[in-house]
Amino acid sequence: MLNMWLMIFIMFMFGNMIFVSKHKHLLIVLMSLEFIVLSIFFSLMLYLSMIENSMFMLMVFLVFSVCEGALGLSILVSMIRTHGNDYFQSFNLI
């Protein structure tokens, strides 16, 4: 069971790394976010399987994550409609 947690941890970390580092296409960022969501889904399933009568929480989480994915894709579509591409290299902290 423990190596499941290790795998989840690795998935989560790599999803974060890709989210942080790949800033050329917005689609990559959104896909990394989905990957992170997937790892959290898996970890949530592993966790909730140990608690009786509470697997329904997973379904709630799934609904919310799908909404989030849909919102992200709609932002991508509107950005493509305004800018013509999905490059977003101009992010500065200031």
Partner 1 sequence: MNKFSLCYISFFFLFFFMLINFFMSIYFIMNQMVMFLEWEIISLNSMNLVMSILLDSISLMFMMFVFLISSSVIMYSKSYMGSELNLNRFIILVLLFVFSMILLIISPNIISIILGWDGLGLVSYCLVIYYQNMKSYNAGMLTVLSNRVGDVMILMVIAWMMNYGSWNYIFYVDFMSNDWSMKIISFMIILAAMTKSAQIPFSSWLPAAMAAPTPVSALVHSSTLVTAGVYLLIRFNNLLMDTLFIKMLMLLSGLTMFMAGICANYEYDLKKIIALSTLSQLGLMMSILSMGYCELAYFHLLTHAMFKALLFMCAGKLIHLMNDNQDIRLMGGLSLYIPLTSLCLNISNLALCGIPFLAGFYSKDLILEVVSMSNLNILVFNLYYISTGLTMFYTIRLLMYLMVNDYNLLSIYNLFEEDYIMLKSMFILLFMSLISGSFLSWMIFSYPYMIYLPFNLKMMVIYVSLLGLLMGNLVSNTNIYSLNKFFLFYKLSSFLTLMWFMPMLSTFGLNYYFLKFGQKLLKNIDMGWSELYSGQGMFKIIKYYSLINYIYQMNNFKIYLYSFVLWMMIYIFMILLM
Window contacting partner 1 (CB under 8 A); options: 10-18, 40-48, 50-58, 70-78: 10-18
Q: Looking at beta carbons only, is 23 or 25 nearer to partner 1?
A: 23
Torsion of CA 40, 45, 47, 51, to 10 degrees: 150
Contacting partner 1 within 75-94 (CB under 8 A): 91-94
CA-based end-to-end distance of the chain:
45
Q: Which of 4, 7, 21, 78 binds partner 1 (CB under 8 A)?
A: 21
- Residue 73 CA to residue 89 CA, distance in Å, equals 18
